[in-house]
Amino acid sequence: MAYNKNLREGISTGSCAAAAAKAAAMKLLNGVCPQSVEIAAPGGRILTIPVQDTPRGCGVVKDAGDDPDATDGLLILAEVELGGEAGEITFAGGEGVGTVTLPGLKIRPGEPAINPVPRAMITEALRSVIGAQAAKVTISVPGGEETAKRTFNPRLGVTGGISILGTTGIVRPMNEESIFESLTLELNTHAAAGQKIIAVAFGNTGEQAMRKAYEISGRCVVQCGNYIGYVLDEAARLGFKRALLCGHPGKLLKVAAGSFNTHNRTGDGRLEALCTQAAIVGAPAALVRELYECMTTENAMRIVADNGLDRLWTTLAQITAKRCTDRSFGEMPVEAAYIDNDGKILGESENAEALAEELRKIN
């Protein structure tokens, strides 16, 4: 994924945990916590990471560089207990580290949310100090439980704290890889529960509006952010059979225009899609121009309502559903509904209500 090379890189929580664990082992053997340690990131890059000595173990402050990471500034602590004889390294989650509760993630339910790559990094770092000895490493993150509320963890069924993540050991500003990974993991939890249908919303407001509109209460909704195309592709790849996509016209009109990344720097076409359908049904040229010159989607919605053109939303829902269905070459049919932020359905594709009825049965 592209990122801005002029911005400063950071280190992942996995790198922080590996450095903290190595320092904790050195303190255990030598009585002194080092001021810094070197660890190997996946790919062989050597990272020199500053370490703090605390009463609760050796710790590393997460530095996300110039990336807007929710975990930036958190202290990642490690405590190490040696087994004396040769054996495995086991992992425990202390304060602020989440616990996996749902199947479908990379870690089994009941385990601390320390992902496989960070576990491998921690193991390698510890082995460089303790050799083949068995050991138990406990990772803690003071403040992690509160921070986790601003991450994907609540949606992934990871409770009680953050996850220790990282596939490269490095945080690259504007890198979308971690977002995509979280979206795939969330879809995996639904697939692992045996679900074959899924509902997709763009964000928190959209999810709340969809749940209100269709009286959906179960765990069956995925938030895609700007990445509707990626979520549809992954859902099809994971074997979902149908999807219901709901959203405010400000987002969904972009999909109707063929934009599957709805970030404002990537694509738009909202007014073009709306104006095209208005012209097709015979709206006067002056009205089409007025719609085209709207500064906001909300203003365009008001003009549509004031001029008795509400049927456009049903037409646009059909168009949106077809575009999304065509993306998977028909393998995963998609229904679509245009909904305002208050949960009012403006227009829906032909089978949207029937699919919503099935979604209402999911606990």
**Structural domains of the chain sorted by starting position, each given as residue range(s) with its CATH number in brackets:** 10-171 (3.30.2110.10), 195-359 (no CATH)
- A 10 A CB-CB count for 292 gives 14
CB 301 within 8 A of CB 264: no
* pLDDT classification of 174: cutoffs 50, 70, 90: low
pLDDT digits (tens, 9 = 90+) for 108-153: 999 999 999 999 999 999 999 999 999 999 999 999 999 999 888 9
What digits encode the pLDDT tens for the residues 210-257?
999 999 999 999 999 999 999 999 999 999 999 999 999 999 999 999
**pLDDT greater at residue 356 or residue 106:** 356
**Is 162:151 a contact under the CB 8 Å cutoff?**
yes
pLDDT of 5: 52
State the sign of the Cα–Cα–Cα–Cα dihedral 119, 121, 126, 131: positive
Predicted confidence (pLDDT) per residue in 24-47, tens digit: 999 999 999 999 999 999 988 999
Q: Which of 147-151, 152-156, 346-350 has the highest mean pLDDT?
A: 346-350
Of 267 and 270, the structure prediction assigns the larger pLDDT to 270
How large is the angle between the packed helices 285-292 and 297-306, nearest 10 degrees? 160
* CA atoms of 224 and 314, how far apart (whole Å): 22
Which residue has better confidence, 12 or 265? 12
Residue predicted with more confidence, 148 or 5: 148
Predicted model pTM: 0.76
CA 107 → CA 12, 28, 118, 157, distances in Å? Answer: 18, 28, 12, 12
